[in-house]
Amino acid sequence: MPFSKIYYLYFSPHKDYIRKLKNILGFVPGNMKLYRMAFRHKSVATPIKDGVKNSNERLEFLGDAVLGSVIAELLFKLYPYKDEGFLTELRSKIVSRVNLNQLSRKLGLNEFIEYDARMISYPNKQSSLLGDAFEALVGAVYVDKGYKFTKEFLLTRIIKPHVDIHTLEITETNFKSRLIEWCQHLSKDVQFVQVENPPGESTKMFSVEVLVEGEVCGLGRDFNKKSAEKLAAEKACEYLKVFETEDYSRSL
């Protein structure tokens, strides 16, 4: 084992943190600053340059692209006779915010995430915290180790042991329909409301909020209004723990 890894594991002042991370990743991180940043939410980040903060947002952007690429190639090889629509839908199920949030919690990433505790009062922000951190972690691994290593890490350490692709294939993930059904079952009022975009956001982008009993439970943005509603419904399902409700979890 290289001296740098021995130092990290046994002599670094952050050795306990590094060992916990190694247990999840299966390897000793090379650039610890990257991994620290992967778990740092913008609510506790500090400005670096030109308004950019040392948060996990840039790594999240990169990790999202790398994860999508690995999943796309995997499904392309796994289903040689399925069309583009099927592959796109299945990939969406695998990388959905609900699925990534659950995966992140299962891996124990919640123990590493740094964020402002006041975020608990803002469900739209908190609902994606875990999934965002997972994507940022993928981005950190990519920058630290390269694409080939990251691909192998995702396939052997994450997807194979933790993602049941064939179960997801037959799982219904129409979040809007499921949310409406759940609200009807509990006699709760649900509304999808288009709202103004934040300053600087593209005017072609649709922003949709989901209100359940008047409370904002999810926000989605997309260039297609239906897609924005779907994203908002997905976040609302995660926030309201729709899929963890006994009557509904049985169907998943």
Closest among 116, 73, 117, 121 to 94, alpha carbons compared: 73
The tokens for 17 are 């943190």
Active site residue 135: yes
Active site residue 50: no
The tokens for 141 are 């691994």
The tokens for 206 are 């649709």
Given 60, 64, 209, 229, which residue is catalytic?
Answer: 64
Determine contact, residues 137/38, Cβ cutoff 8 Å: yes
Determine contact, residues 16/10, Cβ cutoff 8 Å: no
Given 60, 132, 135, 234, which residue is catalytic?
Answer: 135
Q: Tell me how far apart the alpha carbons of residues 160 and 165 are, in angstroms, rounded to a whole number.
A: 9
Q: Tell me how far apart the alpha carbons of residues 227 and 217 are, in angstroms, rounded to a whole number.
A: 17
Determine contact, residues 137/63, Cβ cutoff 8 Å: yes
Residue 148 burial (CB count, 10 A): 8
User: Long-range contacts: 148-157, Cβ < 8 Å, 24+?
Assistant: 150/66, 150/70, 151/70, 153/25, 153/26, 153/27, 154/67, 154/70, 155/70, 155/74, 157/25, 157/26
Active site residue ranges:
64, 135
